[in-house]
Each structure stands twice: as C-alpha cells, then as structure tokens.
Amino acid sequence: MTYLTLEAAAAALAAGETTSRALTEEALERFETAHTALNLATLIEREAALAAADASDARRAAGTIIGPLDGIPYTLKDIFATEGVVTTAASNILKPWTPPYSATTVKRLDASGAVRLGKVNTDEFTMGSSTETSAFGVTRNPWDHDRVAGGSSGGSAAAAAVGAGYFSIGTDTGGSIRQPAAYCNVTGIKPTYGRVSRWGEIAMASSLDQTGPLARTARDCALVLQVIAGHDAHEATSLPDAVPTYLPGQATLAGLRVGVPQEYFGEGLHPEVRARVDAAIELFRSQGAVISEVTLPSTPYALAVYYIIAPAEVSSNMARYDGIRYGASIERDEPGGAHDLFETYAKTRGAYIGEEVQRRIMLGTHVLSSGYHDAYYKKALAVQQAVKQEFVQAFQDVDVLLTPTTAGLPFGVGEKANDPLAMYLEDVLTVAVNVAGLPGMSVPCGFVDGLPVGMQLIGPHLGEAKLLEVAAAYQARTEHHLSFPNI
C-alpha cells in the first residue's frame, strides 16, 4: 500500500477494495514509524483520524461520498489554524495556543472528507530552508538521515515521501514547497498568489505566502488543489477567478513551448543536478516540445528583493506576538518576570522566539525605518516590478519555463545552520516565482548518488492547470517519482 498514489488509493476505495479505516491505520503506522526515524510530526492525531476514517466509511456505505479526497489520509503543515487543536508554527511562543477557528484550507479539506493524520514540522513561522529552526528540532531527509529534508515544509515533504498520508499541505513564501519537494522526491505546487486562501494560515510575509499540496504525482496534486483553490470572501487578496478543472487528461508534449532561462543554469549549479535537468529537457525535446533559450536579466536581484520585502512583512506580522495577546508570555509564566510593558515584550520575545525569526524582525524593521525605507524597501518594490515584467514578456513566447529547483543536493544537518547567508542562497532559484506571484512546481527528475533531484516548472499567472498537465505528461513518461525511500 505504501506504493499507492492518492489517485490509486481513491480508486481502491471507490472499488470497495479497501476502507478509509484500513488506509488510515496503515498511514498512521508509517507516520509514527517515520516520525521516530525522521522527527517529522509536531502532533499525531490518531484518535481523531480513526474517527474521521470511520465517518468516511459510513458515508461510503450510505452512498453519500463527497468526492475523491473522501477517506484519504493526509498531513498538514503546522502553520494552519485548526479549531480546538493546538497550532504552533513550530515556535515556542505558540506552543500553548489552541485556535478557536479553522483556516479556510482546513475547512475545505474537512468538507472534502479527507482524514487529517496530524501536523508536520516546519521552520519556525516558516522562516528557513531546512526545518532546522523549528522549536521541535530538525526533520531529517528520508533518503539520507544525516541530511535535511529541506524547508520550510520539510515535514510535509518527508511525510509525503514516506507515505505518511497520500498528500501533505505546505506553504511557500520563497520556495518552501518546491525546495523540500525536490529534496525528498515528491511533487509539489505553489499556486499563483491568491489562488488558495491565506485565511487562518499563520502569516510569514503576506504578499508572498501561498498554500499548496505536496504528493506523489502531479495528478495527485491536481486532486488536492481542486479542493483548496478558490475565492474566499474572508480574505482580501484571494482571487475571484473561477477554478478550472485541474486533473489533466492524456496530454501530448508535441508543440509545447518550453523556455529555458539561462540565468538559472549559472555558476554554483551542481554539475550532476544540471545533468538530470538537462536530461529532462532532452526528454521534452524528444517528445516534440519546442525548447528555446530565454533570458530573465533581473533574476540575480530577485533574492535581494525577497530578503527585503519578506523581512519587512515579517516584522509587521510578528508584532502580534507580544506576550499579551497570543501564546506564551513571560508575564504569565514567571509572575514578576517583567516589570513593565517593554520588558514584557522584550523578555517574552527573547525567551520564546528563535534566533532566525528575531533576525528577520530586525532586518525588516531596519529596511522599513525612516532613512532606509526609500533606499531599501521602495527600491525593492521597484525591482519587483521589473522581475514581474520579464516573466510576462517571457510568457508571450513560451508556455512554461523549466529550471532546476535547487542548485545543489540535500545538504547535511548543521551544515548551513550557522551561516544565514548560505541558507538564504538556498532560495536563489525559487524566490523569483514568489516575487512575481506566479505558480511554480517541483517535479522529481532523477537521482545523484541516491539523493533526489527536482526540476522546476514555472507558469504564467493562473497557469496551474498547464503546469499540472505538463508535469503529468512528464511523469507518464518517467519513473523517478515512483522511487521510495526505505525507512
């Protein structure tokens, strides 16, 4: 059963070959076993999951099944509010917080009949590329336990890779779905900004954050995106556009126009990673796709733009964790521990918020401060427009862009943890997509010494259906995504 895709699991349920109870028990067992080996959970909801599975089986018996996700087990990145269930953002400051409401994404999944197995690990408030900044400790890579699973959706990627559920829900602000998907050999899509509601998703950088699925295949991602995408009246940046059908038919690659941006193949790209991505490009060519070289000259600036805009928004979003309104507080935990309001803020944040998040707050406060606002923040917004325009231009001539997802292979635990700049460079190939608000995917495209490699597909505004179609056509012709790690 480990080797079933979501689509196959749904078909087995529909055919009466298995039950949600059986799928859920197996997935819980893998979740628990993998958690022991990899540290991927922040919460395992065994009882609630089994009850949800039984409810799904009862619907099936009564002929009132809701849709393809009904009875399918999954995991949720611990960054979404869940009514009555503790939600931590992998931060000590939220460890005592139980939300009184559920995020829109959670409500939509609940309404689909999907069975939540529990919550999975992330970098603290999703700030990071390795899941090492989590207050729960690092999540290890299922292909090599001495390496990171990537981040910030490292728990999601590792869970999807080991079959702890048939999909996971992650978030991507600068690459946090795509980079861990690449490092764990799963398929992940970051939709267009605004396609999936952010309501109830704990904010990192509000103008960049986007929710999306990680799963075995592009077709599985399509089934999940179908449920979570769509307008939400609660959320001002949620797109009003109608949601198309995402599950692709049998697509041909003949005539597909694939752009290869040269800036993504520059210095620092691991030669073996490059070789796997080149092989994927050759496969597209052999299937009749038209490959052309594209240039996106502002690419080298996207990372700098991101590390100004994202921290600026972080510094604003983190202001609510002040020891008074939410979560842990020095005042409450150590009566007399703070003597005035300022000490309550400072001591609470010092005690319960990790170093990386503090660094982002300081960076963000700096670039927004008077005197630096024009020099940094305003300039970053101007360059952001240039990055966007270049993509718009490129998509006049091509249907999708194809690049590596990451420049290297999954790195060692601890290798970059004390070097913030090296860690920020992890996002160099993924951030431009967020800066431009576009959809992007990571698709498994091979292995180097037993470690997975991902290629990135980038689409135009609201081009999710096209990306999923292209990725599904590629996966119909390759088997990289069907390799599983041994736990």
77 has catalytic annotation:
yes
Query: How many positions of this chain bind ligand GLN (CB under 6 A)?
Result: 13
3-state secondary structure (DSSP) of residue 122: coil
Question: Do 6 and 72 form a contact (C-beta atoms < 8 A)?
Answer: yes
Nearer to ligand GLN, 175 or 248 (CB): 175
Give Cα separations from 67 to 92, 94, 300, 358 (angstroms): 37, 34, 44, 43
Only segment of 104-112, 126-134, 211-219, 336-344 that touches ligand GLN (CB under 6 A) = 126-134
Nearer to ligand GLN, 173 or 475 (CB): 173
Q: Looking at 56, 91, 134, 176, which residue is catalytic?
A: 176
Q: Which residue of 81, 127, 247, 394 would you call a contact of ligand GLN, by CB under 6 A?
A: 127
Asked whether position 156 contacts ligand GLN by CB under 6 A, the answer is no
Q: Looking at 20, 56, 77, 347, which residue is catalytic?
A: 77
Nearer to ligand GLN, 81 or 398 (CB): 81
Burial of 327: CB neighbours in 10 Å, binned 0-12, 13-18, 19+: buried
Asked whether position 53 contacts ligand GLN by CB under 6 A, the answer is no
Residues of this chain, 395-454, that bind ligand GLN according to CB under 6 A: 427
Residues of this chain, 367-396, that bind ligand GLN according to CB under 6 A: none
The distance of closest approach from Cβ of residue 168 to ligand GLN in the complex, given in angstroms and rounded to an integer, is 15
The answer to whether the peptide bond before residue 129 is cis (omega within 30 degrees of 0) is no
Q: Where are the beta strands (DSSP E) in 121-219?
A: 140-141, 144-148, 167-171, 187-190, 211-215
Residues of this chain, 292-321, that bind ligand GLN according to CB under 6 A: 310
Nearer to ligand GLN, 88 or 112 (CB): 88
Q: Where are the beta strands (DSSP E) in 343-486?
A: 400-404, 440-448, 451-458
The distance of closest approach from Cβ of residue 451 to ligand GLN in the complex, given in angstroms and rounded to an integer, is 19
Nearer to ligand GLN, 259 or 311 (CB): 311
- Which residues lie closer than 8 Å to 27 by C-beta, 6 or more apart? 73, 117, 163, 164, 165, 166
Asked whether position 128 contacts ligand GLN by CB under 6 A, the answer is yes
Binding mask 167-206 for ligand GLN (x = CB under 6 A): -----xxxxx---------------------------x--
Asked whether position 155 contacts ligand GLN by CB under 6 A, the answer is no
The residues facing 293 across adjacent strands are 260
Asked whether position 39 contacts ligand GLN by CB under 6 A, the answer is no
129 has catalytic annotation:
no
Q: Which residue has the tokens 């490699």?
A: 453
Pairing of strands 257-261, 290-294: parallel
Per the structure block, which two tokens stand in for 62?
Answer: 């009564």
Only segment of 1-9, 166-174, 215-223, 284-292 that touches ligand GLN (CB under 6 A) = 166-174
Q: What is the DSSP string of 406-438?
A: -SSPPPBTTTSTT-HHHHHHTTTTTHHHHHHT-
Q: Where are the beta strands (DSSP E) in 193-269?
A: 211-215, 257-261
Nearer to ligand GLN, 102 or 406 (CB): 406
- Residue 48's identity, in one-letter code, is A
Q: Which residue has the tokens 């079933």?
A: 4
Q: Which residue of 126, 211, 315, 456 would you call a contact of ligand GLN, by CB under 6 A?
A: 126
The distance of closest approach from Cβ of residue 349 to ligand GLN in the complex, given in angstroms and rounded to an integer, is 19
176 has catalytic annotation:
yes
User: H or E element: which one contains 282?
Assistant: helix 271-286
Asked whether position 364 contacts ligand GLN by CB under 6 A, the answer is no
The site for ligand GLN (CB under 6 A) is made up of 126-129, 152, 172-176, 204, 310, 427
The catalytic site residues sit at 77, 152, 176
